[in-house]
Amino acid sequence: MRAGVAGGVLSTLAVAGASGSASAADAEPVTQTLELPTLTADLAAQIAQSADATQQAAANYELRAERDAAAAKAAKEAKADLKEAKKKAAEARQRAEREAARKAAAARASRDAERSTLTASASASTDNTGAASTGASASTGSSTATGSAAAVVSFVKAQVGKAYVSGATGPSAYDCSGLVQAAFKQVGVSLPRVSQDQSTAGTQVSLGSLQPGDILYWGGAGSAYHVGVYVGDGMFVGAQNPSTGVVLKPLSYDPPSGAVRVL
């Protein structure tokens, strides 16, 4: 009896298993669905903002690159301009030096010519017997100052030994034109302040016809760079330079280029 019951149970389980297998075989397969996130307005705005930021960054990089290129170009051009400016300055300096040398050479030539004239005028002249006599006084006209000329000569001689100071007009120091101006001021004659103008202040006279009180000048008339006063006997007084100050010297010491007579 116990065996019969067991057999019945097993038969029942077998029938149920077969029936379940058949039902599983006949059922439709299950399909799994993945749900994608919905593109919301906020997410779209974020994407758009990110795209704008990327575009702006690209624009900034491009602008920076353009600025760097412009700066490099400007630096290159500035360097080239500086080089050209230095070249032009060097050329201008060379031209100025050549012009200064030319003027100096012309001044030396002029002074050499005047020196030759003075030497010839002051050289001894030979009379019929062959005796030599000194012609310095005769070649420079009168050697005796009179009137206002004497006062001018006396004044400049009294300044001998005083200092030379550029721009000074006395009474303890002078420059060349300051001394001449001060000397003529003593006799009521108003002269221009600078040597260029003093060299044309009176009547031009030859160096062979000098008289005491005549103004001597060095350089060209109207462009003289130095002046002094002829005091007679082949001598002149001038404020020469800071080393010598006001001196009394023979014309041969520094032969002048020309002379003017004011008195």
238 domain residue, yes or no: yes
pLDDT at 249 over 50: yes
pLDDT at 2 over 90: no
Q: What total of structural domains would you count in the chain?
A: 1
158 domain residue, yes or no: yes
Amino acid at 124: A
Rounded average pLDDT over 35-54: 72
20 domain residue, yes or no: no
Distance CA 100, CA 108 (A): 12
Q: How confident is the model at residue 79 (pLDDT cuts 50, 70, 90)?
A: confident
CATH number at residue 211: 3.90.1720.10
| pLDDT mean across residues, the chain | 79
52 domain residue, yes or no: no
- Its domain, for residue 226, covers 140-261
Distances (CA, A) of 187 to 152, 196, 211: 7, 21, 17
Q: Which of 82-86, 98-102, 203-207 has the lowest mean pLDDT?
A: 98-102
pLDDT at 67 over 80: yes
84 domain residue, yes or no: no
pLDDT digits (tens, 9 = 90+) for 172-209: 999 999 999 999 999 999 999 999 999 999 999 999 99
Q: Which residues contact 173 (CB under 8 A, 6 or more apart)?
A: 162, 163, 164, 165
198 domain residue, yes or no: yes
Quote the pLDDT of residue 60: 86
pLDDT digits (tens, 9 = 90+) for 45-57: 787 788 888 888 8
Quote the pLDDT of residue 122: 46
Distance CA 19, CA 240 (A): 146
Instruction: Output the six-digit token pair for 166.
Output: 């550029």
Rounded average pLDDT over 222-230: 97
74 domain residue, yes or no: no
Distances (CA, A) of 216 to 18, 81, 141, 192, 200: 153, 50, 14, 14, 11
